[in-house]
Amino acid sequence: MFLVDTSGSMAPENRLPLVRQSLELLVRGLRPDDQVSIVTYAGDSRVALPPTPGAQKDAIAHALHGLTANGGTNGAGGITKAYELARASFIGGGTNRVILCTDGDFNVGVTSPSELDQLIERERNSQVFLTVLGFGMGNLKNDRLEALARKGNGHYGYIDTLDEARRVFVEQGAALTVVAKDVKFQVEFNPAKVAAYRLMGYENRLLRDEDFKNDKVDAGDLGSGHTVTALYEIVPVGVSIDVPGVDPLRYQAPPQPAGPADEWLTVKMRYKSPEGETSRELASVLPGSADGRPVAEDFAFAAAVAEWALVLRDSPYRGAANLPGALVRAEAACTYDPHGHRQAFLELLRTSIRLSAAKKE
C-alpha cells in the first residue's frame, strides 16, 4: 500500500517527483502475485489506485505519474484510509505493509503526536505494518516520522536522491519484510574489565532496565537482511577518568567490581516473531580473548561514520575525534563496496573537510 503525501509542500523536485521515481523502482521488482494500491492525501484522502496485481506495471506507473501536489496535509485521514484498504486486501502469510512517503508536515485533521501515535498503534494490531520514508529538506519532520514508523512496527528511511531510493527499494528491498518485531538489546559490561561506558546515539531508543523483559513495551523491528550497529565508548579498568562522584550509601554496601576476568561483556537480545506476542531471548558473551583481535571492516567503517557525526554535532564527547582522522579510517575500510555507498560517504566526508577549512579561513 503506497500512501503518498500530495500536499502543496511536496511540490519541489526532491519531494513528490522523487517519490514517483522511487516507487517506480519498487514496482519494477514486483511479481505477478504481488498487489499494489495507492492512497493519496492532501486536504482530504482518496484512492488513486485500487488493489492491482504486480503484473500490471504500466497501470501502476500510470497512477504514480498522475499524482500532483496541492492543498493541506491531512495525514491522519490518509493513514486511516490506507489501513482500511490494506486490511480489506490482506494477504495471509504475505508482506502486508503501508509505505508512507511524506515530508511529515501534518497540518489538517489529527495533528498532535499522541493522537497520531495512538492511531498507528491501533492499526498495527491488524498485522499491517508501516514503513515511513522522509523526502525533502528544510521542514522535514525527521524525529516525528521515525517515531511513527516505530509505533507501526516498521522502519524509517530518508531519501534525498534516486541512488538512495535504489538502495532502499532494490538493494535492501527484502528489509520491507519484518522477521523480528519488538527487538531489544541489553548490554552488561564486566566491571573487572570496564570502569565506565557510554552508548553513542540511540537517545530516542533507550528503555528502562525493567522494560527489557516487559513484552508489553514496544521496541524496534528488524527486516530481512537488516543489520544494526551500536557503538559504546568505554574506559578500561585502571585508566583514570574524571566522572562526577556520588555520596556513599548509608544503608547499603556499594557493589564491588568483580567478574570473570576472561569476559568483556554479555549482550542479550529479546524479540518476537512477526505474528507473535511473546518474546524469545538470546544471549552471548564477548570473551577476553577478543582483546587484540583485528577490528572487522564493517565495524571500523561504522566507527568512522560515528566519529564524523561527533564532529558535525560538535558533541561534548567528541574528545580527539577529527575529520581527517575519520577519513583515514573510512578509506581503510572500503575493501568491499559493491554498490559504491562507502565511496559516496568518503566524498561526503571530504566535502565536510573542505567546508570546515573554508570556514576557518
pLDDT at 111 over 80: no
Could you read off the pLDDT of 261-314 as tens digits, one per residue? 789 999 999 999 988 889 999 999 998 887 777 888 999 999 999 999 999 999
Global confidence as pTM: 0.78
pLDDT at 346 over 60: yes
For 321, residues 6+ apart whose C-beta sits below 8 A from its C-beta are: 307, 310, 311, 315
pLDDT band for position 124 (cuts 50, 70, 90):
confident
Cβ-based neighbour number of residue 283 at 10 Å: 11
| Cα distance between residue 286 and residue 293, in whole Å | 12
Angle at 52 between CA 1 and CA 8, to 5 degrees: 50
The pLDDT value given to residue 329: 94
Q: Which domains does the chain have, with CATH numbers?
A: 2-176 (3.40.50.410), 180-239+255-290 (no CATH), 297-360 (no CATH)
pLDDT band for position 173 (cuts 50, 70, 90):
confident
| Cα distance between residue 352 and residue 305, in whole Å | 12
C-alpha cell, 208: 528502562
